[in-house]
């Protein structure tokens, strides 16, 4: 399945776009997404940390992704 | 309703925020007003840019305010966060909390800003004379 | 000057107080706004009357703000206290503190209101439907 | 010497006046003032506590009063 990945802050700069498409197998996990992203965008590994959000919630590495999920890369937050 | 959460791309109305949390049951209101500093580690800041993942930011702020009502006897809680381009002296965030007694208002207001800075998906870019930096992005 | 202390017999201007402590060096402002509650121990309050021993109240407030500057790295501190007759919902006190970092602003603001309530010669009379009481006067 | 004693809050109600006059000997202390006041206004003893201020400062029981001092009765404060 193809999943759109939203990007914010520095992740948007690294991707060069506010959204990219990733091709995933059906049982793909958050971990798998991070691996694929880091393969394609090695600069992600230089961040202090980053999280994946699924449907507007922080996701765990073992969470699996479903077809209509909204997936986003969340670099270190700095609001306030 | 006892909670108002907004992400806005226009200047925040601090006085309006305080009016919103006022209540005849309240004895004390604590308000945190963030302001854009003119320098970071001695380096002059030209302006800031704030970006939010809006639906998730609202959801995380709702969690924080709900936790605050669970932890302290509060009357009203307001969080307004601005996004877009801000100059030095402008206000990126206002948090206002009213309670019958002031200790709860102080504790909750501080908890909300501390937690907001840790969990709410909002990002700040500092623009200097000679470049720009996403705050906290790199070690 | 980095400190403004006033005892006023007119409504306090909360927004003006916050503007006064704003500074390009500030990263955070904490503000405490006292408000007149509609009841004390369940008994409806009709109005309040505040009275101050003005020269001594100013002197004690100066001590408290000086102590705050000694204890925390602050930028500006403002204390406005109202006297006279106040209705429910009106504001008897505004304390605003700006600092480069928010922890200092929170700590100092809380210290100032806590100490004000212990040492500054200002008295509050609660007027009920059926009588009146000087708060804290009797055991 | 005669000294004016300023009164605030409930002390003003007890004295029935914002200022009263007290006749003191030359070496009178804050303690002596409290004794004289409580003799003349026994309701003062029912307060949670009260202090004497001299020249806009809280005074100690052993402090002595001088002719031009500004003396005030400070019942429990309740500002804020």
Question: Which of the four pLDDT bands, split at 50, 70 and 90, describes residue C40?
Answer: confident
> pLDDT at residue C1 above 90?
no
CB-defined contacts A:B, below 8 A:
82
Domain count, chain B: 1
- Residue A5 near chain B (CB below 8 Å): no
| Nearest of C34, C48, C38, C54 to residue C117 by alpha carbon | C34
Residue C10 DSSP class: S
Three-class SS of residue D45? helix
What confidence tens digit (pLDDT) does each residue in B42-75 have? 899 999 999 999 999 999 999 999 999 999 999 9
List the CATH number of the domain containing C25.
3.90.1170.40
Touching, D vs A (3+ Cβ pairs under 8 A) = no
Contact A79 B81 (CB under 8 A): yes
Identify the domain containing residue C121 by its residue range: 3-135
The model's pTM: 0.95
pLDDT truncated to tens, each residue of chain A (80 aa)? 999 999 999 999 999 999 999 999 999 999 999 999 999 999 999 999 999 999 999 999 999 999 999 999 999 999 99
Q: How far is CA B45 from CA B4, B77, C19, in A?
A: 31, 31, 21
CATH number belonging to domain D2-66: 3.10.20.30
- Residue A76 near chain B (CB below 8 Å): yes
> pLDDT at residue B1 above 90?
no
Query: Could you say which of C81, C138, C139 has the minimum Cβ distance to residue D79?
Result: C81
Give B33's contacts in chain C (Cβ within 8 Å).
18, 28-31
Q: How far is CA B73 from CA B64, B66, D80, in A?
A: 15, 12, 20
Q: Which of C15, C30, C78 to mutate to test the interface with B (most CBs of B within 10 A)?
A: C30
Query: Could you say which of D48, D58, D75 has the minimum Cβ distance to residue C139?
Result: D48
């Amino acid at each position: 399945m193809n999943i759109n990945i939203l990007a914010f802050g520095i992740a948007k700069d690294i991707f060069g776009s506010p959204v990219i498409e990733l091709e995933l197998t059906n049982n793909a996990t958050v971990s798998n997404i991070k691996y694929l992203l880091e393969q394609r965008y090695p600069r992600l590994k230089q961040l202090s940390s980053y999280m994946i959000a699924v449907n507007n919630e922080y996701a765990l590495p073992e969470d699996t992704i479903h077809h209509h999920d909204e997936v986003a890369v969340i670099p270190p937050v700095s609001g306030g | 309703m006892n909670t108002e959460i907004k992400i806005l791309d226009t200047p925040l109305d601090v006085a309006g925020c305080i009016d919103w949390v006022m209540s005849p049951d309240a004895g004390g209101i604590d308000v945190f007003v963030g302001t854009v500093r003119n320098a970071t580690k001695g380096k002059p800041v030209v302006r800031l840019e704030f970006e939010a993942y809006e639906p998730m930011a609202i959801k995380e702020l709702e969690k924080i305010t709900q936790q605050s009502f669970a932890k302290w006897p509060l009357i009203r809680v307001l969080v307004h966060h601005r996004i877009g381009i801000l100059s030095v002296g402008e206000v990126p965030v206002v948090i206002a909390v009213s309670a019958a007694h002031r200790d709860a208002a102080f504790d909750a207001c501080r908890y909300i800003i501390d937690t907001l800075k840790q969990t709410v998906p909002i990002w700040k870019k500092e623009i200097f004379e000679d470049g720009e930096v996403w705050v906290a992005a790199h070690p």
